[in-house]
Structure 1
Amino acid sequence: MTGIPASAAGRGPVAKPKTAANARRVSLWNIANILTMVRLLLVPAFVLLMVAEGGHDPAWRSFAWAAFTVAMITDLFDGELARRHDLVTDFGKIADPIADKAIMGAALVCLSALGDLTWWVTAVILVRELGITLMRFWVIKHGVIPASRGGKMKTLTQGVAVGMYVLALTGPLATLRWWVMAVAVVLTVATGLDYVRQAVVLRRAGLAAEAERAREVSEGADR
């Protein structure tokens, strides 16, 4: 991930390409990384709040919802801040996706363990998230699969659905959260299949390009 040059946004002078001589060192303790660290620290706090008083006390569940909501909000801002202000670090590249998966995974497992959400929903979402992460590593040498609009909608819907389940809702809101979670599961599966398609296409294109380069090198050596 890199920052956006001023010229690309139509503002300011043309930015000079970064070199070893003029590259700016980015401090580990920048706002984007701090938000990621906060999200990581919120994971154990969230779990403790979820299981307090047997896990079904409305007050404690409200505190757990607040922790989950703060974590999801930091997820919206840390990556954008890192890209916009050129605050990308190796720590952030590793910790950010871990924090994302950790808070969502903790919420889903807690809800299923407490009997509020069926285990198959948790399994579908977690298997999809882990599978897509591993798949990105599988094709990383051929290119990067960009986050799609559907993927962003999936993340938002998951966050809203899980947040509604964390709260001790009753009546119509309890019914509504079931439908929101159903939409989240559909988006989870649909976007997961689309990412698989993109990964296969990207890998085939990468292998074809490698074969073409090898052929050109072989032909050049024969001349």
Structure 2
Amino acid sequence: MKTADMLSAVRIFFAPVFFFLYFIPLWTQSFFHVSAYLLLPLLVLAEFTDFLDGFYARKHNEVSDFGKLFDPFADVFLHVTTFFCYAFSGYMPLWTLVLIIHRELGMLFVRLIAVKHGITIGAKMGGKIKTVLYIAAGMFSLVLESATRLDFTENLPMQALRAIGILLYVLCVVFAYASFIHYIISFKSAIHDKTR
């Protein structure tokens, strides 16, 4: 694997690590403080690899069709895992999680159909905005959960903050489906151009 691909693989490796670090304190009713100190740096590092893989792919001319598929797959793998944690804890409405999973599965199907036609669908601006919103919403939820685990919520307006978090997830859904529609239109255009 190339450097960029290995950086993408880091997100796939970190996803289950995050999952178990998140839930072990809930299962054992211990290690809450330890997990709070570990989860945020872990997620920041995992998300930062998304920037690094693109940077190294361009810098070392490692942009490949495999990377264009593997990078978004690694993103989805990490985000769906973390979103499940936040939905379980009540930060993310379950319906937004279900819609996001449906969108990501739909996008995976479109990418597979495109590959069958010899077309690789790379990231577009709408998809990048969607990813930024995923990261922002996820980080916001994790900060709230970390504050709870560290007993820092006494003077925080948690109800208002949770409402802000829900709004962020609604925006995630809106931009996720808007970008999905854009990808489908672009794919149809690419198919049309190829069959001319």
Shorter-chain TM range is 0.7 to 0.9
CA contact (8 A) 1:142 1:203 kept: no
Change (3 A) 1:62 1:165: farther
- Which secondary structure state, in structure 2, belongs to the residue aligned with residue 120 of structure 1? helix
- Which secondary structure state, in structure 1, belongs to the residue aligned with residue 171 of structure 2? helix
Q: Structure 1 residue 159: deviation in Å? A: 0.7
CA contact (8 A) 2:91 2:166 kept: no
- Which secondary structure state, in structure 1, belongs to the residue aligned with residue 128 of structure 2? helix
**Aligned twin of 1:160:** 136
Q: Structure 2: which amino acid aligns with 1:150?
A: G
Equivalent residues in 2 for 1:117-128, closer than 5 Å: 117-128=92-103
Q: 2:124 aligns with which of 148, 151, 161?
A: 148
TM-score (ref. length: structure 1): 0.69
Equivalent residues in 2 for 1:1-223, closer than 5 Å: 28=1, 30-54=2-26, 57=32, 60-88=35-63, 92=67, 95-140=70-115, 141=117, 143-167=119-143, 168=145, 170-171=156-157, 172-207=160-195, 209=196
TM-score (ref. length: structure 2): 0.77
Q: Structure 1 residue 84: deviation in Å? A: 2.3
Unaligned runs of 5+ in 1: 1-27, 210-223
Unaligned runs of 5+ in 2: 148-155
Q: Structure 1 residue 102: deviation in Å? A: 1.1
CA distance in 2, matches of 1:95, 1:204: 25
CA contact (8 A) 2:19 2:85 kept: yes
Range that drifts further, 99-108 or 111-120: 111-120
Q: What's the RMSD between the two structures over aligned residues?
A: 2.6
- The number of aligned residues is 180
Change (3 A) 1:188 1:61: farther
Which is higher, the Rg of structure 1 or of structure 2? 1
Change (3 A) 1:64 1:149: same
Q: 1:148-172 CA distances to partner (integer Å, 9 max, x unpaired)?
A: 2221111101111011112325524
**Aligned twin of 1:20:** none
- Which secondary structure state, in structure 1, belongs to the residue aligned with residue 188 of structure 2? helix
Higher relative contact order by CA 8 Å / sep ≥ 6: 1 or 2? 2
Q: Structure 1 residue 127: deviation in Å? A: 1.4
CA contact (8 A) 1:75 1:100 kept: yes
- Which secondary structure state, in structure 1, belongs to the residue aligned with residue 131 of structure 2? helix
CA distance in 2, matches of 1:125, 1:70: 23
Q: Structure 1 residue 87: deviation in Å? A: 3.1
Range that drifts further, 74-83 or 173-182: 173-182
